[in-house]
């Protein structure tokens, strides 16, 4: 087959061009799909920081809290921590916003800095969290026998 384009007809050149574009688009889709498949859909975080509980208008003191687990489930679009589960409302750049008027918890997690600010409500009891979170590595999250 002659590969020098000077000897190909216009129709043949167009067909080769369409085939090249189709191949490039297909490979691009495969690369994007592979990249998305390799990203975890569930991210477990270990968080340290402070917590403050308020009953009605009476605020308690801030207390240290360590190793609080938080789970961001991108497939289910939820964030869970301290026994509460809230829907992810939006992901704006690097910030995950969760909770709404019907969720028992509202807040946000900055994926770049690891800062999580959240408030939970249960009756007239409000608990506010100011945390710094780090992803838990798979080897660290497995229990040893």
Average pLDDT rounded to a whole number, residues 121-125: 91
Mean pLDDT is highest, among 8-12, 84-88, 100-104, for 84-88
3-state helix, strand, coil in the chain (%, to 5): 25, 50, 30
The predicted model gives 5-13 an average pLDDT of: 57
User: In whole angstroms, how far apart are CA 53 and each of 12, 66, 102, 129, 133?
Assistant: 74, 16, 20, 9, 20
- Of 143, 144, 141, residue with least CA distance to 70: 141
Residue 17: per-residue pLDDT: 53
Ranges of each domain in the chain: 8-38, 42-136
The stretch 116-129 carries a mean pLDDT of 94
Residue 103 confidence (pLDDT): 87
pTM greater than 0.85: no
Q: Give me the pLDDT at residue 52, please.
A: 97
Give the residue-averaged pLDDT of 86-90.
96
Q: Measured between alpha carbons, how far is 126 from 54 in angstroms, rounded to an integer? A: 5
Q: What is the pLDDT of residue 49?
A: 97
């Amino acid at each position: 087959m002659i590969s020098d384009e000077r000897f190909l007809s216009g129709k043949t050149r167009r067909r080769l061009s369409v085939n090249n574009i189709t191949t490039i688009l297909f490979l691009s889709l495969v690369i994007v799909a592979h990249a998305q498949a390799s990203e975890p859909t569930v991210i477990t975080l270990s968080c340290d920081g402070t917590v403050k509980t308020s009953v009605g208008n009476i605020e308690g003191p801030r207390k240290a809290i360590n190793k609080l687990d938080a789970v961001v489930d991108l497939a289910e679009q939820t964030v869970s921590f301290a026994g509460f589960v809230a829907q992810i409302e939006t992901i704006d750049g690097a910030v995950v916003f969760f909770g709404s008027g019907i969720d028992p918890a509202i807040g946000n997690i900055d994926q770049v800095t690891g800062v999580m600010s959240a408030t939970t409500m249960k009756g007239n009891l409000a608990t506010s969290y100011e945390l710094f979170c780090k992803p838990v590595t798979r080897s660290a999250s497995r229990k040893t026998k």
